[in-house]
């Protein structure tokens, strides 16, 4: 029998055959138990009823025997009391004659004792010697005239007493016959009963006299039935009764053999039922067990049909299950095909290609991208484009000797080849891309196509964070960016974008933890021949990464929308540092770079204007010319607000983009900063010199000061001075340094700094 553990206080069976067997046995056992209980209850009730009737009958018999015995004793006593000689002896108080007469009467009656009780209290006894209490009770009873026979306790033992008056002119006394109610007499009574009861005469106080009906009591023999049959008594303060007791265990003794037979028959029937139920349940559950096994194997992914052995409900269920298995096989095959194939072209899809690439360590993935894909698709339609891709995939696979082909993206097809290395794989990609570019007929018309390929293999052990297919897709983008037919995945150019996913959240934490600081690069004024300003540049020292490039974290902050809190922190920090510089005797303008994204944010403009107004700081906001071009109306309005608030505006990196004279004319800027790409080659390129000189003249013509970035040589510095440039900034003037180092340098020797740059 297979049982599971107790679940929520309930025992369960894991085997249907066992469950059916136990169910049948339980039902039969319940019916048998109910029948047995009914039989035992009926027999017990009948036996107890019979016992009660027998006890009542025994009490009635004893009552008749009592009356008969009382009549006999009374007749004998009456005969003696009517004897003239005896009356004379009693009247004469002849004790000897009276005792002799009593002895004769005792012998004739066979009683235990006889006595004469005189009216004056004189007592003559024969055979018994009653104590004072017995005589007192006897005398009171006789004096009352209400009793002449009854039970009297003499010497602690009950006696049946019968009294007859001695007939004289005046009552001289009574003749009293007393017969002991001992065990022998009780045995005689017990033998008259049909049941084995026990009898005894008891005298109890009147208030605790036993009832006149059989009652259930506890005795030395266990639970018993007890009947108290009332008897007359001489003591008015006590009640006498015949007490009949019948132990209940004797009630069932005649039926023990019947119960034993019932038990044997029930056990035999239960055993037969167990065998029959087991055989029946086995026949019923065999097909169900087979079906259960098939379902279990289906759960494990095995498609096993259940045997159909009958045409009943279970057989039809098995047949339906088998039909379902067939449907599942077909459906799984369709789903698997759909999961591994592109629905438009019928080619294997990206998942299929990734599985095949992962199965071979020396596999290389070549991803072919259809150039001008959207243009071609819009020209011929989606359906025709799908047919074109299917034909292109078949062509590439054939050119690669049947290599696995898949559609990886909208306009990208992937191919798996085996190559000895990157060089061979790249050569194969270039060859296949060139060979597959022949026109493809779609709807009867040739369509020209051009392909670009990206090549990638498996990464080094432990570094393969992205799949070869993803690497090939990145290589395809790199090839298009380099305008090449094919390119292999360049890991150095790709960098570590995965490691930068948490960079912004770490940057926000770094602001509060003091990891981000401002470094200041001096700006030299040619006319003042001194440093009159500094540019605030952000620096981040990461506890694990070390120094993080500003281009990286500032660019990501712009992309994610976190540039505003970063810039607001920089403005507050710059204002505080300017106060420190002023306290040290250095009055310098502090330049802060403002992202072009913030030039369309009115709330940021409110913040900047309020901060400068509240602190009275002398700040210069550096913005790029392209930032103004993105949203010119909004940007120009915000720049006007800065100018109205007394904040200088500098156009940063001028010349690096497509400079627009239109916006240069409209913007309220105070300064123009020439991009360092022109300054670095100034001492070697006359062309750069002409561009710089013309830019300086243009700016001066518009009323703008000019700052040259990237000044690293004395020659460049001298040329700029000669061109009339206003300010210079670069490594020759000073590298970006923390606030403390800047203070030390400014305090060391302002005059020495001027002499060094002359």
CATH, residue 418: 3.30.70.270
Counting the structural domains of the chain, the total is: 4
Residues 236, 267 within the same domain: no
Residues 629, 522 within the same domain: yes
Cβ-based neighbours of 66, under 8 Å, separated by 6 or more: 160, 231
CA distance 656 to 625: 9
Is residue 323 one of the residues assigned to a domain? yes
pLDDT for the residue 307: 76
Is residue 421 one of the residues assigned to a domain? yes
CB atoms within 10 A of CB 440: 18
Cβ-based neighbours of 435, under 8 Å, separated by 6 or more: 399
Beta-bridge mates of residue 21: none
Cβ-based neighbours of 721, under 8 Å, separated by 6 or more: 526
Residues 202, 220 within the same domain: yes
550, 538 in Cβ contact below 8 A?
yes
Residues 232, 259 within the same domain: no
Token digits for 499? Answer: 């490691």
pLDDT for the residue 552: 85
Is residue 309 one of the residues assigned to a domain? yes
What CATH number should be reported for the domain holding residue 579?
A: 3.20.20.450
Question: 739-748 vs 563-583: helix axis angle to the nearest 10?
Answer: 30
Is residue 546 one of the residues assigned to a domain? no
Three-state DSSP state, 334: helix
Place of tokens 């003239």: 84
CB atoms within 10 A of CB 33: 11
Token digits for 680? Answer: 């670095």
Residues 286, 165 within the same domain: no
Among 312, 337, 362, where does a domain finish?
337
CB atoms within 10 A of CB 228: 22
- Which one, of 441, 445, 416, lies nearest residue 428 by Cα? 416
pLDDT for the residue 321: 77
Q: How far is CA 479 from CA 304, 429, 452, 474, in A?
A: 52, 12, 7, 9
Burial code (b: 16+ CB inside 10 Å, e: under 16) for 151-165 equals: bbbbeeebbbbbbbb
Residues 244, 277 within the same domain: no
- Which one, of 258, 307, 245, lies nearest residue 55 by Cα? 245
Task: Tell me the mean pLDDT per 10 residues along the chain, length 758.
Answer: 48 62 74 78 76 74 76 78 76 79 81 81 82 81 76 85 74 80 78 74 63 72 78 77 78 72 78 74 69 76 74 77 82 85 88 82 88 90 91 91 89 89 90 90 89 85 68 90 89 72 83 91 93 94 88 85 92 96 93 91 94 95 75 87 94 69 80 90 84 92 93 93 95 93 81 50
Q: Which long-range contacts (CB under 8 A, 24 or more apart) does 456-461 make?
A: 456/364, 456/365, 456/367, 456/488, 456/489, 457/362, 457/363, 457/364, 457/365, 457/419, 457/422, 457/425, 457/489, 458/361, 458/363, 459/491
Residues 228, 266 within the same domain: no
pLDDT for the residue 717: 93
Residues 717, 586 within the same domain: yes
How is residue 348 annotated by DSSP?
B
- 3-state DSSP of 182-230: CHHHHHHHHHHCCCCCEEEEEEEEHHHCCCCCCEEEEECCEEEEEEEEE
CA distance 134 to 203: 13
Provide the whole-model pTM: 0.52
Among 199, 222, 253, where does a domain finish?
253
CA distance 734 to 746: 11
Residues 67, 205 within the same domain: yes
Residues 464, 532 within the same domain: no
Residue numbers of the domain that contains 573: 517-536+559-727
pLDDT for the residue 5: 47
Is residue 545 one of the residues assigned to a domain? no
Is residue 260 one of the residues assigned to a domain? yes
Three-state DSSP state, 751: helix
741, 530 in Cβ contact below 8 A?
no
Token digits for 216? Answer: 């259930």
pLDDT for the residue 2: 47
Is residue 708 one of the residues assigned to a domain? yes
Token digits for 159? Answer: 């006696």
How is residue 560 annotated by DSSP?
H
Is residue 23 one of the residues assigned to a domain? no
Residues 365, 268 within the same domain: no
Among 288, 314, 337, where does a domain finish?
337
Residues 664, 687 within the same domain: yes
CA distance 399 to 414: 13
CA distance 266 to 29: 8
């Amino acid at each position: 029998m297979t049982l599971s553990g107790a679940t929520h206080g309930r025992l369960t069976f894991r085997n249907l055959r066992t469950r059916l067997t136990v169910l049948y046995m339980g039902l039969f056992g319940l019916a048998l138990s109910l029948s047995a209980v009914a039989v035992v209850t009926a027999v017990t009730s009948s036996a107890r009823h019979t016992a009660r009737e027998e006890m009542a009958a025994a009490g009635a018999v004893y009552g008749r025997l009592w009356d008969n015995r009382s009549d006999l004793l009374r007749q004998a006593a009456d005969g003696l009391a009517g004897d003239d000689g005896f009356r004379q002896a009693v009247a004469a108080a002849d004790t000897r004659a009276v005792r002799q007469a009593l002895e004769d009467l005792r012998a004739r009656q066979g009683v235990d004792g006889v006595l004469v009780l005189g009216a004056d209290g004189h007592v003559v006894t024969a055979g018994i010697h009653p104590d004072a209490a017995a005589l007192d009770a006897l005398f009171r009873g006789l004096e009352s005239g209400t009793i002449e026979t009854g039970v009297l306790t003499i010497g602690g033992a009950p006696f049946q007493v019968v009294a007859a008056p001695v007939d004289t002119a005046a009552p001289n006394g009574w003749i009293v016959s007393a017969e002991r109610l001992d065990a022998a007499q009780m045995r005689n009574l017990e033998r008259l009963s049909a049941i084995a009861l026990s009898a005894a005469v008891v005298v109890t106080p009147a208030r605790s006299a036993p009832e006149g009906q059989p009652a259930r009591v506890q005795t030395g023999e266990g639970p018993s039935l007890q009947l108290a049959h009332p008897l007359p008594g001489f003591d008015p303060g006590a009640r006498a009764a015949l007490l009949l007791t019948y132990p209940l265990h004797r009630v069932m003794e005649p039926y023990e053999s019947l119960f034993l037979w019932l038990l044997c028959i029930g056990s035999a029937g239960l055993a037969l039922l167990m065998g029959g139920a087991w055989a029946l349940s086995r026949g019923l559950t065999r097909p169900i067990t087979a079906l259960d096994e098939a379902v279990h194997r289906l759960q494990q992914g095995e498609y096993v049909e259940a045997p159909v052995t009958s045409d009943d409900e279970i057989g039809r269920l098995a047949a339906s299950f088998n039909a379902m298995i067939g449907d599942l096989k077909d459906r799984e095959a369709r789903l698997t095909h759909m999961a591994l194939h592109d629905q438009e072209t019928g080619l294997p899809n990206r998942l299929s290609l990734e599985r095949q690439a992962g199965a071979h360590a020396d596999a290389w993935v070549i991803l072919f991208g259809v150039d001008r894909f959207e243009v071609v698709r819009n020209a011929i339609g989606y359906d025709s484009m799908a047919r074109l891709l299917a034909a292109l995939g078949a062509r590439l696979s054939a050119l690669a000797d049947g290599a696995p082909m898949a559609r990886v993206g909208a306009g990208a097809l992937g191919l798996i080849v085996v190559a000895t290395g990157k060089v061979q794989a790249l050569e194969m990609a270039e060859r296949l891309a060139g060979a597959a570019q022949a026109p493809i007929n779609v709807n009867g018309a040739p369509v020209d196509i051009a392909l670009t390929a990206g090549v990638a293999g498996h990464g080094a052990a432990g570094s393969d964070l992205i799949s070869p297919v993803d690497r090939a897709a990145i290589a395809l983008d790199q090839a298009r960016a380099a305008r090449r037919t094919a390119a292999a995945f360049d890991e150095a150019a790709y960098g570590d974008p995965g490691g930068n996913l948490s960079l912004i959240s770490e940057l926000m934490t770094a602001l509060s933890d003091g990891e981000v600081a401002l470094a200041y690069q001096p700006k030299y004024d040619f006319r003042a021949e001194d440093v009159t300003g500094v540019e605030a540049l952000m620096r981040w020292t990461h506890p694990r990464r070390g120094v993080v490039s500003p281009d990286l974290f500032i660019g990501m902050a712009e992309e994610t929308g976190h540039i505003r809190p970063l810039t607001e922190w920089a403005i507050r920090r710059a204002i505080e540092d300017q106060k420190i510089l002023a306290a040290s005797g250095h009055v310098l303008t502090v330049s802060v770079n403002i992202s072009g994204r913030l030039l369309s944010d009115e709330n940021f403009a409110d913040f900047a204007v309020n901060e400068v107004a509240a602190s009275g700081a002398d700040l210069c906001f550096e913005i790029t010319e392209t930032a103004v071009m993105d949203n010119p109306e909004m940007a120009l309005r915000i720049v006007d607000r800065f100018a109205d608030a007394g904040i200088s505006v500098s156009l940063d990196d001028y010349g690096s983009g497509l400079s627009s004279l239109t916006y240069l004319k409209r913007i309220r800027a105070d300064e123009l900063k020439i991009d360092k790409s022109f300054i670095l080659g100034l001492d070697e390129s006359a062309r750069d010199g002409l561009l710089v000189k013309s830019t300086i003249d243009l700016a001066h013509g518009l009323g703008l000061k000019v700052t040259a970035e990237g000044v690293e040589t004395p020659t460049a510095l001298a040329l700029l001075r000669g061109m009339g440039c206003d300010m210079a900034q670069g490594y020759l003037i000073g590298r970006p340094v923390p606030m403390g180092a800047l203070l030390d340098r400014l305090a060391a020797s302002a005059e020495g700094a001027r002499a060094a740059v002359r």
